[in-house]
Structure 1
Amino acid sequence: MVNAAIPKLLVGVLTTLNANLAQNVTNGASEWGTLSAQKFSKFLTNNPLPDGYPWSTLTATNADPYTQAPVTGVVRHYDWTISRKTLAPDGVERPMIVVNGAFPGPTIEANWGDWIEVTVTNGLEDEGTSLHWHGLLQTETPWFDGVPGVQQCPIAPGSTFTYRFRADLYGTSWWHSHYSAQYSSGVLGPMIIHGPNHLKETEDYDIDLGPVLLTDWYHRAYFDIVEDVMGTDINSIIAAGSSENNLINGKMNFNCSNTNLPCTEGAGISKFEFTTGKKHRLRLINAGSEGQQKFSIDEHSLTVIARDFVPVEPYTLNMVSLGIGQRLDVIVEATGSSGSSYFMRSTIETNCTRSSQPYALAAVYYPDANQTALPNSTPQPDTRPDCTKPDYPLESTVPIYKITPAETPDLTYEIELSLAQNSSGNWVWFMSGSSFRVNFNEPVLILANKGNTSFPSNWNVYNSGNATNVRVILKNLFTVGHPMHFHGHNMFELASGTGTWDGTITNPENPPRRDTHMIPGSGYYVFQYVADNPGVWPFHCHIAWHVSGGLYVNLMEHPDKIAQNMKIPQIMHQTCRDWAAFSNTTVIDQIDSGL
């Protein structure tokens, strides 16, 4: 009998679970979500350790994380191939696009200040690709941010390209394709960068269990979904964005009677092991395509210690919420008995998006528990009934390293988000009346490096010139929220809410910071940033179907420095020549914005 802790919708999915609970390295051919998955130390020790740490005497309180990354002299190298492969993360077989044959893809691990090199071979025969390193600043390497048509040309089929960038912030993040909605077919993985520990001895964790990737899941190829999302019938568009399942670390079950695709019942859910009396660090990542997630562990509390790449004063909740692209590092104390087991849960917030199976489950086992049996545990009270509300009040979120933004910005942008039909009748997203579309063959950064400052209107380039402090007042004219992600910076989150901003700034002396913010439906979001990173930086909704629909702008800063001081490597130009050779003989079916 299936216990009462399982949502009714999942009863049919899990009745066959016991016999093959979380099969070893099945599903997406990845070890994530199995008991043999890697655990992580506090930092990597295979490099010089001055004063006992790779970052020497720098701490979370005495070093500005944006300007004082250490020089470790270490390079971490990875060699990846992107290719097509049929996998079954939830038992339903579907063609996917993956890195090194697995979903989720390989983990990047480094110490703060290390250099990271990733050599990428495009094994796709008919489309380009590129990879973005979500949340990193790319200071002095803006050409390696990975957005095609903005900083680079796509990597052509059969070509190889090496990204090289600093681990200039520390904490938890992820990498993913930025070519159309390609990552929705599997091109993504976790990124862990070790840095100074800001926790008191009584707060500190004992075991780092690593990434917990939360992904709404689709059984169709990304291109087919984008084709529908870019249509003319609004009801069909909404239906196209509905996911079939929800996964934790690339695993979950599916009721095979609900699909015509090849399907195996009881493919297996993810497993984690807790040690009684120990504190465990979990690195939560919403790496999905559309769905906002609410995450909890039955009968356990979650102490948040970082939001995105920003360490914060710890706070404890029974349930947390993450929009697409957001990360939360949490500590969970193992208070259960040695033979107990519990469900880990992540649920798509369906009052903001659609899913035919929004519940994801994983099993948490204590050392003496029966690891082939389902947990029988009590769910946490649902404290997240409204996905338009923030995951935690901005007023109560306090970064460990204090930074006070300029009281008066040099420049203010006011940008409105809206959905409307274009001249062809297609429903697309607009930012202040302009829907974005990229030109893969003409990256904006490379053009700016040649002295260009004038661009087509639908490239949505906002040139802030030599302004140092820039404020953005974002107004959401749509009823659904958007996870807005800014490349190359952490944003000072000055204010956010529904209705109209009244001018009040939250915590003006030390406002919360992060790189991805959920702007509520019919609401506002006000942020500020220090324009100290010359480049062309994307600011966009991280819902895959929304950025495909044009919900995107480029925030350019210091064009004079881009043109006069920036030495763009020749590999960037060669990549464009390779892409031109490919695109001159192959029709690129760019049905969306391209990103």
Structure 2
Amino acid sequence: MTSRYLTQGKSEEEIAGDPGNGNYSINATQPTNGVCGNSQNKRPAAILSYDHPTATDQLPIVDGPDPVNLRCEDTTDFRPVVARDIPRSEFNISPSNTLSVNLLRDTNRSQVFWTVNNTGLNVMWEKHILEFVREGNTSWPDNENLLEIPSGSQWSFWLIENELNVPHPLHLHGHDFVVVSRSPALDDSVLNDAMTPVRHFDPVRDAPDMGNFTNPTRCDATMLSGKGWLIVAFRNDNPGAWLFHCHIAWHASVGLSVQFLERKNEIKDIMDLDFIEDNCKAWQSYIDTNPPWQPKNDSGI
């Protein structure tokens, strides 16, 4: 393998080279199709040098290959060194467990924003969701976009569908997740064709081909393709409040995000929530005396 596509996230890689050859180019750049964005620096590079008796200070002669056009589709055929299998028996689709996501425009403020289940994310800087947990208060506002994750160490599976032709990199806090399955990415010419239909997940058609339950790729960010679907899963083993959001900053800013409240009854046992309250008070005092932060005009994350 000479290259891999990595969405807006991070990855640990083991690179094996021949120290006798000296210096190597390492490039991090965008594919040329423009679907995933463009860069003013077409080939930002680093040089990997081995401390070896035959190594020289000569710069690498070869710049390296151009990035492959993978249509904003992550490479997911890697197998983690620490193996972890996923119980297929826990993957069940229920139409009743559905969240609708919409892109709206506020004509009064000329602003677009996303809603989840008809509410736009708007976190309260002055009262973190963990303060509700500290108080034993479950009356948090709807616009916290909060979803409670069941207690126990079972797996949570999330099937996400994208009706737009724009891919979205999705990032989860507090966990790595496994990429169980996804619809194949489309070439940009097909993706941008108004006649190309949205590809919805079909249990009859797609479930039999979902064989990625044996030590699948793990990451904390992956790409949801345009007009397609994605299935990720994580184990409920980390009590806390965790964001799951689009990793494009302004998309998160206008609400493309939910919060997971995981095993809330165990949070007090492992976290000093009084410290959380002190931090929130200090932050509120700061923004009250710094006008550029007021009024808050986005989701707050």
Q: Distance in 2 between matches of 1:427 and 1:585?
A: 28
State the partner residue of 2:135.
Answer: 450
Question: 1:433 Cα shift?
Answer: 4.3
| 1:488 aligned residue | 174
CA distance in 2, matches of 1:440, 1:320: 38
By how many angstroms is 1:554 displaced? 0.3
Give the one of 509, 519, 525 matched to 2:230. 525
> CA RMSD of the aligned region, Å?
3.0
Counterpart contact for 2:88–2:213, Cα < 8 Å: no
Taking the TM superposition and a 5 Å limit, the aligned residue runs for 1:428-439 are 428-439=113-124
**Pair 546,334 (structure 1): closer, same or farther in 2 beyond 3 Å:** farther
5+ residue gaps, structure 1: 1-316
2:210 to 505, 516, 523: 505
> Structure 2: which amino acid aligns with 1:533?
N
Show the 5 A alignment for 1:49-88: none
Give TM-score, length-normalised by structure 2. 0.76
Q: Aligned partners of 2:105, 2:3: CA distance in 1, in Å?
A: 38
Pairwise CA distance, 1:406: 5.3
Q: Which amino acid aligns with 1:530?
A: R
1:445 alignment partner, SS class: helix
User: Would the alpha carbon gap of residues 363 and 507 (structure 1) be closer, same or farther in structure 2, given more than 3 Å must change?
Assistant: closer
TM-aligned CA deviation for residue 526 of structure 1: 1.0
Q: C-alpha distance in 2, partners of 1:325/1:457?
A: 29
Corresponding residue for residue 426 of structure 1? 111
1:427: Cα distance to partner?
A: 2.0
Aligned to 2:157: 471
Mapped pair 1:559 → 2:264: yes
Contact 1:416 1:475 in 2 (8 A): no
Tell me the residue number matched to 1:571.
Answer: 275
Amino acid in structure 1 at the alignment position of 2:276? M
| Alignment equivalent of 2:84, drawn from 399, 402, 414 | 402
Take 1:506 and 1:494, find their aligned partners in 2: how far apart are those partners? 8
Change (3 A) 1:318 1:573: same
Residue of structure 2 equivalent to 1:343: 25
Q: Which 10-residue stretch deviates more, 528-537 or 505-514?
A: 505-514
Q: Which amino acid aligns with 2:28?
A: S
CA contact (8 A) 1:415 1:473 kept: no
SS at match of 1:407: helix
**Residue aligning to 2:188:** none
Change (3 A) 1:429 1:388: same
Structure 1 partner of 2:246: 541
Q: How does 1:171-570 map to 2 (within 5 A)?
A: 317-334=1-18, 337=21, 341-349=23-31, 350-364=34-48, 368-371=55-58, 375-377=60-62, 379-380=64-65, 382=67, 384-393=68-77, 397=79, 400-405=82-87, 407-409=89-91, 413-415=97-99, 419-422=103-106, 424-466=109-151, 468-498=154-184, 499-501=199-201, 502-503=206-207, 504-562=209-267, 565=269, 568-570=272-274
C-alpha distance after superposition, 1:388-427 (max 9, x if no partner): 222243xx63554233335125896544555442353312
> CA–CA distance in 2 between the matches of 1:570 and 1:531?
24
When residues 351 and 507 of structure 1 are mapped into structure 2, their CA distance, relative to the original with a 3 A threshold, is closer
Q: Specify which structure has the higher proportion of strand.
A: 1
Whole-Å separation in 1 of the counterparts to 2:8 and 2:234: 21
Give distance in 1, aligned partners of 2:210 and 2:26. 36
Unaligned runs of 5+ in 2: 185-198
Contact 1:492 1:514 in 2 (8 A): yes
TM-superposition CA deviations, 1:249-303 (whole Å, max 9, x none): xxxxxxxxxxxxxxxxxxxxxxxxxxxxxxxxxxxxxxxxxxxxxxxxxxxxxxx
TM-score normalised by length of structure 1: 0.41
- Indicate conservation of the 8 Å contact 1:411/1:471, yes or no: no
In 2, the alpha carbon distance for the partners of 1:453 and 1:487 equals: 22
Are the equivalent residues in 1 in contact too, given 2:132–2:140 (CA < 8 A)? Answer: no
Q: Which amino acid aligns with 2:130?
A: L
Higher helix share: 2
Alignment check: 8 A CA contact 1:344 1:362 kept: yes
State whether residues 85 and 213 of structure 2, in contact with CA within 8 Å, keep that contact through their aligned partners in structure 1: no
SS of equivalent to 1:348: coil
Which AA in structure 1 matches 2:156? V
Query: How far apart, CA to CA, are the structure 1 residues paired with 2:42 and 2:101?
Result: 27
Counterparts of 1:534 and 1:410 in 2: how far apart (Å)?
23
Describe the shift of the 1:469–1:351 C-alpha distance in structure 2 as closer, same or farther (beyond 3 A): closer
- Pair 1:365–1:470, CA change in 2 (3 A): closer
What CA distance in whole angstroms lies between the structure 2 residues aligned with 1:348 and 1:552?
Answer: 25
CA distance in 2, matches of 1:453, 1:409: 28
- Look up the SS of the partner of 2:89 in the other structure: coil
Change in 2 beyond 3 A, CA 1:579/1:361: closer
Higher relative contact order (CA 8 A, sep 6+): 2
Q: Give the CA deviation at 1:460.
A: 0.5
Match of 1:100 in 2: none
User: Aligned partners of 2:79, 2:132: CA distance in 1, in Å?
Assistant: 40
Over 3 Å counting, the alpha-carbon distance change for 1:324 and 1:364 in structure 2 is same
Counterpart of 2:42, as a letter, is P
- Residue 476 of structure 1 deviates from its aligned partner by 1.7
